[in-house]
């Protein structure tokens, strides 16, 4: 389906499956520290990865990732800590890699993305379609739902 719509296909953390389905690239999660992804450039497979701190960014650079997702930039329910604008900019400027912001991006902090030194951003909540029935209406310290 991705080939029909001309979308790039990335397989997560599985070289054999990437080669089997002739995917455009592979995604390496932050917990994967192996160096076995280095030879994939010869096969024209794009390697992307994720990181949460400087040590993991260096590992992704050694794994020859073309793009690194750095997260979480803003507060999320899953994570107790976040990078924030200043630490994100420090990490993205300090490293000569293409860094993409990820994590906790919503309508409230969307303007802060202009302050970031990033090649792009990604998110789930910001792109989900909102329905009128679940939007809260704030009236004098009470939350009512339409």
Q: What's the structural domain count of the chain? A: 1
Q: How many CB atoms lie within 10 A of CB 71?
A: 24
Domain containing 33 equals 2-145
Longest dimension (CA), the chain: 62
Q: How far apart are CA 102 and CA 122, in angstroms?
A: 5
C-alpha distance from residue 142 to each of 49, 96, 133, 135 (Å): 43, 48, 17, 13
Domain harbouring 77, CATH code:
3.20.20.70
Better pLDDT: 133 or 95: 95
Query: Which tens digits make up the pLDDT trace of 10-50?
Result: 999 999 999 999 999 999 999 998 888 778 877 889 999 99
Q: How far apart are CA 74 and CA 117, in angstroms?
A: 15
Query: Which tens digits make up the pLDDT trace of 63-92?
Result: 999 999 988 888 888 878 888 888 888 888
How is residue 73 written in tokens?
A: 């930039």
Q: How far apart are CA 114 and CA 112, in angstroms?
A: 5
């Amino acid at each position: 389906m991705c080939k029909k719509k001309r979308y790039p296909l990335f397989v997560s953390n599985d070289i054999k499956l990437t080669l089997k389905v002739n995917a455009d690239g592979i995604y390496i999660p932050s917990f994967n520290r192996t160096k076995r992804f280095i030879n994939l450039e010869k096969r024209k497979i794009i390697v992307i990865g994720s990181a949460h701190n400087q040590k993991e960014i260096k590992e992704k650079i050694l794994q020859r990732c073309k793009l690194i997702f750095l997260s979480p930039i803003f507060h999320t329910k899953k994570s107790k800590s976040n990078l924030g604008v200043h630490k994100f900019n420090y990490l993205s400027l300090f490293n000569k890699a293409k860094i993409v912001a990820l994590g906790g991006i919503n309508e409230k902090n969307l303007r802060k993305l202009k302050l970031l030194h990033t090649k792009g951003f990604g998110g789930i909540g910001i792109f989900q379609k909102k329905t009128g029935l679940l939007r809260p209406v704030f009236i004098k310290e009470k939350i009512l739902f339409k």
